[in-house]
Amino acid sequence: MPKLVNTLPGNENTTTLGAEVQKAEIISGDAVMVTDSTYQFTVYTGGDMPKNAIFTLTVPLSVKLPENPATMIKLNCMIGCSSKSPTIAWSATDRVLTFKGVVPEVSSYISAPGPIQFTVKGFTNPSTTDRAYFVWTSYASFTDGDFMIDRISNLWVQSK
């Protein structure tokens, strides 16, 4: 998980940015307890994400991950980011997936407000139909520490 030094202008605990709606949904394998499900996330950033940006996804307790999330979780960037060569790390203590190398190589930053849309494959759905809440956070990473750009909570999925 990034070592937070400071925050940059952005959004804290935001569910909407202007008219754009933040959302998460199960797009493959949406039944209770289905393994290897694919979740899609759409976020609109409040601050630009520089080339060294990383983003994290805090995974709720009710959503299970594979035995080795860093190698078994698959990221697919669809809009506004790159999944060409991401580095994925997992912090079991904090339940945080960290994605590095997500800014497209052809740009020096991801322009706000986005959108950034990506899928993550490899989750096991909750055992109930209750909502499962994720938190997406973006950081700029520098030698003196990581600076939070945005934090978007209230991204929820729901099994059927």
Given this model, what pLDDT does residue 99 score? 92
Per-residue pLDDT tens over the stretch 11-45: 343 444 444 567 888 989 899 999 999 999 988 88
Q: What are phi and psi of 67, to 5 degrees?
A: -55, -40
Averaged pLDDT score across all residues of the chain: 82
Given this model, what pLDDT does residue 6 score? 39
Specify the CATH number for the domain of residue 129.
Answer: 2.60.40
Residue linked to tokens 């945080």: 96
The domain of 142 spans: 4-154
Taking the C-alpha atoms of residue 158 and residue 25, their distance in angstroms, rounded to an integer, is 7
Residue 160, domain member (yes or no): no
Provide the whole-model pTM. 0.84
Per-residue pLDDT tens over the stretch 144-154: 888 888 888 88
The total number of structural domains that make up the chain = 1
Residue 31, domain member (yes or no): yes
For residues 155, 65, 96, 99, the Cα torsion angle rounded to the nearest 10 degrees is -90
Residue linked to tokens 């939070």: 148
Taking the C-alpha atoms of residue 34 and residue 57, their distance in angstroms, rounded to an integer, is 20
User: Which residue(s) pair with 43 in the sheet?
Assistant: 116
Residue 11, domain member (yes or no): yes
